[in-house]
Copies of this chain bind each other. A is one copy, B any other.
Amino acid sequence: MATIHDVAKAAGVSNSTVSYVLSGKRSISAETRHRVEDAIKQLGYRPHAGARALASSRSSTLALVAPLRADVDVNVIMQFVTGVVTRARDHEMDVLLLTQDDPGGIERAANSSLADALIMMDIEAEDPRIPTLVELRRPAVLIGLPADARGLSVVDLDFEAAGRLAWQYLTGLGHRQIALIGPTPAVLGRHTSYANRLLDGYRGAAERDDRPTAVEPAEAGHAGGLAAIRRVLDRMPEVSAVVVHNEAALPGVLTGLRAAGHEIGTGISVLAICPADVAVQQAVPLTSIDIPAIRMGKIAVDLAMARIDGSDDPEIRLLVPQVTERDSTRALL
């Protein structure tokens, strides 16, 4: 591999000039710049990442902590990851992939200067990793709002508002008997941030309207969704609308509804809270409150970069939920 010195020699300039051509940190005559750029191309030169990290104390790498084997929906995770990786490249950053269950992985990435910042997904309300993260004194961004962000940057959908919105949207259509099918008991048990906040918003709205509702968790998979919708129909036989906040259970819920003789949309309304593409791919295109996962991943990177550049203070960014109407909801006459 060619080094910066080889390039310098080839272009007839000094090492530092090559370095500055690359970084743009001081002005270079058009003439010189050209010769250097030619030499770089000629030699296929790439700066050695390690050497650069050592000299500049910047690794140009972001560490992403992902829950690879979690009960969280893979689809959503992949979208976060996609958003993070693509936006990272816009900032000329690479992404180091860490898993949740790599003990000490976070410390390793931070303290060995492997990464300039950390992005962590699947945040619980009282996430035990947050104190660790804070102690590292490195820029960190959470995808998911914890109870106490402790001065870290956060991006998330405003799930509380989403819960409220779900209720209001359906009551606005005239529905009076509304149920909610939520995440798996495991997710709820872990007090995963988004799950609880959605529930709070939803229940709060129902209470303000002084109207009862049924809330059921659902296990993952077809069977889980099926069981959950059966319990709902049992507890609330006159139900006319159901909110589903569980991607993996969605197909089962729809099947169950059909099996019970309910036409989706015309009969019972279904409002999903999930990424748009998941909503679209179902048996019936579902009206949904979009979880803009790719966008959230991108924002996470932007927040991280802002912290790395030292310009910005930690920031909490909650995205406003919105309903996209498709074929699964209808106004009650």
Give the B-binding residues of A (Cβ under 8 A): 1, 44, 46-54, 59, 61, 64, 68-69, 74-75, 77-78, 81-82, 85-86, 89, 94-99, 102, 105, 107-109, 111-114, 220-223, 248, 251-252, 255, 280-283
- Whether A222 and B281, one on each chain, are in contact in the complex, defined by CB atoms closer than 8 angstroms, is yes
Which B residues are CB-close (under 8 A) to A50?
49-54, 59, 113
Q: How many copies does the complex hold?
A: 2
- Whether B111 and A44, one on each chain, are in contact in the complex, defined by CB atoms closer than 8 angstroms, is yes
Contact of A49 among B59, B75, B255 (CB under 8 A): B59
A74→B280 CA distance, assembly (Å) = 16
Which B residues are CB-close (under 8 A) to A222?
251, 281-283
- Whether B49 and A112, one on each chain, are in contact in the complex, defined by CB atoms closer than 8 angstroms, is yes
A109→B255 CA distance, assembly (Å) = 46
Contact of A48 among B54, B68, B74 (CB under 8 A): B54
Query: In the assembled complex, how far is the CB of residue A76 from the closest CB belonging to chain B, in whole angstroms?
Result: 10
- Whether B113 and A48, one on each chain, are in contact in the complex, defined by CB atoms closer than 8 angstroms, is yes
Given A1-B113, A111-B1, A281-B222, verify A82-B69 contact (CB < 8 Å). Answer: yes
- Whether B59 and A112, one on each chain, are in contact in the complex, defined by CB atoms closer than 8 angstroms, is no
Looking at A50, A64, A107, A109, the one whose CB has the most chain B CB atoms below 10 A away is A50
- Whether B49 and A51, one on each chain, are in contact in the complex, defined by CB atoms closer than 8 angstroms, is no
A68→B82 CA distance, assembly (Å) = 6
Which B residues are CB-close (under 8 A) to A78?
68, 74, 77-78
A1→B54 CA distance, assembly (Å) = 13
Query: In the assembled complex, how far is the CB of residue A68 from the closest CB belonging to chain B, in whole angstroms?
Result: 4
